[in-house]
A = this chain, B = another copy of it.
Amino acid sequence: MDFLPSPKSQELLGRLQSFFDQHIYPNEQEYARQLHASENRFAAVPLMDELKEKAKAAGLWNLFVPPSHAEYCGEYADHGGLSFSDYAPLAEVMGRVQWSPEVFNCNAPDTGNMEVFMNFGTEAQKAQWLTPLLNGEIRSSYAMTEPQVASSDATNIELRIEREGDEWVLNGRKWFITGAMYERTKIFIVMGKTDPNNPNRHEQQTQVLVPKDTAGLSIIRPLTTLGYDDAPIGHAELVFDNVRVPVENVLLGEGRGFEIAQSRLGPGRMHHCMRLIGAAQRALELACKRAVARTTFGRPLSKHQSVREDISKSFSEVEMARLLVLKTCDKIDREGVQASIDMIAATKTTVPLLVQNLIDRCMQLHGAGGLTEDYFMAEAFNYARWCRQADGPDQVHQMALGKKIIDRYSA
């Protein structure tokens, strides 16, 4: 056994940490200032573009690209692609500042969408959409969740996609479409049903590409979670009203939408969990700093036994959560995503809840201020809470994992 990151991962980790020390942490207040000052909450933040250039110059770009797709790393990245295990410590660092993944072209949902293009796109689709995405020039959305059905079971999706001549015609409603509000976002990957009566429930779905400016596509409103709009990326509610795109906008093929969805979601869940480890670690560190800085009833918080117990517990929890992420990454790297579905589910249903509770504890040590934007904790709390619903409520994954484990041990 061996708990050390690979030399490659360590080298990049060092470079990334330096980048954070020089360019990210010192700019947290400025980023917030620019965002608040903007008339359009979903406009690009000027600072972001500056930082992206710096990240490219530092070779910290497209770190999410797996070795099997190394050809897509692009000119700004000489790393040759990173395994899940190699990427995890880097994504953890990015989780320390919520808006930072975009700096490195590593933010959701673009990373997942880029992988979809790498895996299933035609050359024309790649040229039009993947290349600018890899360069960070445009952003994208993945439109799957619908308000009126339990979308965690993808077979429930109701948005209708019908073939009319050389076009697909889309009608339906989506929500929680991350990135759809962002002005940089240009292309939506939309999941719908082309064959709702197909007796094989996994062949009813198709995914098609819908440019954001297509007629009939309306962005109804931004959605908030616990009061956050996650600007400028945001989450939107969309209506598709006779939206028409050419037949060649299909991804992979008619009736293969479920297959794409399956391949996409596992890695996305892991990326969220990797980042949440970083959020938890930072909350713990803030709590330690607070414990020595704050005095109540004549003693610094750090000398209260209850505070020590909180810190001790949080340290232990973040270690366990991190190890669970890493073991799952290791399994994916060795055996692939499908064979690791058990560990992915264990991670997805454990880490967000654990991190939510850990941050809650660390916030409480900060008094009323802990709930404000003066610290990153409240926003990170919201991220963790949201991840208990994102990519399906935890309960759905526990249903599947529980069944699998019962089968395994009762055999």
Contacts and interface: CB of A to CB of B under 8 A. Distances in A.
A251 to B, nearest CB: 24
A3 B330 contact: yes
Contact of A409 (B288, B296, B317, B385): B288
Contact of A305 (B145, B382, B395, B408): B395
Nearest to A402: B308
A316 B350 contact: yes
Contact of A393 (B310, B311, B364, B405): B364
B372 A224 contact: yes
Contacts of A406: 288, 291-292, 302, 307-308, 311
Contacts of A229: 227
A388 B364 contact: yes
Contacts of A3: 1, 327, 330-331
User: What is the total number of copies of this protein in its complex?
Assistant: 4
A378 B346 CA distance: 26
Contact of A405 (B226, B311, B386): B311
Contact of A319 (B225, B309, B310, B346): B346
Label chain A's interface by main secondary structure: helix
Given A291-B410, A292-B406, A227 B379 contact: yes
Contact of A1 (B2, B225, B284, B367): B2
A403 B291 CA distance: 10
B292 A350 contact: no
Nearest to A379: B227
Interface in A189-227: 223-227
Nearest to A9: B1
A326 interface: yes
Contact of A2 (B228, B309, B330, B343): B330
B284 A409 contact: yes
A379 B227 CA distance: 7
Interface string A123-158: 000000000000000000000010100111100000
B396 A296 contact: yes
B409 A309 contact: no
Nearest to A409: B288
A63 B304 CA distance: 41
A336 interface: no
A230 to B, nearest CB: 9
9 contacts: A226-B378, A227-B227, A227-B228, A291-B406, A306-B395, A308-B399, A313-B350, A319-B346, A371-B386
Given A1-B6, A227-B228, A313-B350, 19 more contacts: A1-B329, A3-B327, A152-B296, A175-B369, A224-B378, A226-B228, A227-B227, A227-B378, A227-B382, A284-B409, A285-B409, A288-B409, A289-B409, A309-B398, A312-B402, A312-B405, A319-B327, A320-B323, A323-B324
